[in-house]
Amino acid sequence: MILAAGKVEMGPLIDGLIRMALDINEKHELNERPYRHGDGWGIAYVKEGKWTVVKSVMPCYADKEIMKLRKVRTTMAILHARKASPGMPISIENTHPFQSKKWAFCHNGAVWDKLNGNFKTKGNTDSERLFYTILQAMKKGKELEAITGSLDRLRHFTGANIILASPDRAFAVARFNRDEKYYTMNMGEKDGMLVISSETLRGTGMKWKPMANGDIVELDIRKN
């Protein structure tokens, strides 16, 4: 998954997403065999102050529709390629990013904690339930407190790496219990575009640094 803010050019981000989905970008604990993310893709980007969300159940590396977004220029974007948990349906409803009003969300990892609350999901993934858990907490307090409080209560998960963004603000969280190379998030910046990605994106010329486990980054493009 990828978050980009600032002077965002979609082409290099799509190239990077496809390389990650094909599992040909970086070495990590899970790709002794090909660890492809071919169970759908989604891109959310800001257009005229609101989210435009495009999703598909096809693999991003086999879907010509994703190439139509290469020329998009925006101030905020989220990209995600899905690898479905065993037994979980492949469907648009289960494809990230999820959106509710001004917030868009994506997640990397598996969460087995019971996530119940006063909400109804469109699909049946742990990721969407985590999204609504955070949104529900946000009704009672500030965004950052809601995010950290919701994640602090998790006990049974592989990764709780998340991206939560509105059209002008975004939060990226690195939190995981295993497979450090696979779950480490990375930050890169070049020519006014800041990127947070599951892996460093080759060929972008960006300078990258890893986020530590537990790090939270908040971006506010209103300040630029």
State what percent of residues in the chain have pLDDT above 70.
99
Write the CATH number for 117. 3.60.20.10
pTM higher than 0.85 for the full model?
Answer: yes
Domain that includes residue 147, residue range:
2-223
> DSSP assignment of 95-117, as one string?
SSPEEETTEEEEEES-B-S----
Query: Of 125, 121, 47, 120, which Cα lies nearest the Cα of 80?
Result: 125
Which stretches in the chain have pLDDT values below 50? none
Helix (H) or strand (E) holding 20: helix 10-22
Number of domains in the chain: 1
pLDDT tens digits, one per residue of 79-126 = 999 999 988 999 999 999 999 999 999 999 999 999 988 899 999 999
CB-facing half-sphere around the CA of 113: CA atoms within 13 A: 20
Say if CB 12 and CB 204 are below 8 A apart: yes
- pLDDT at res. 222: 77
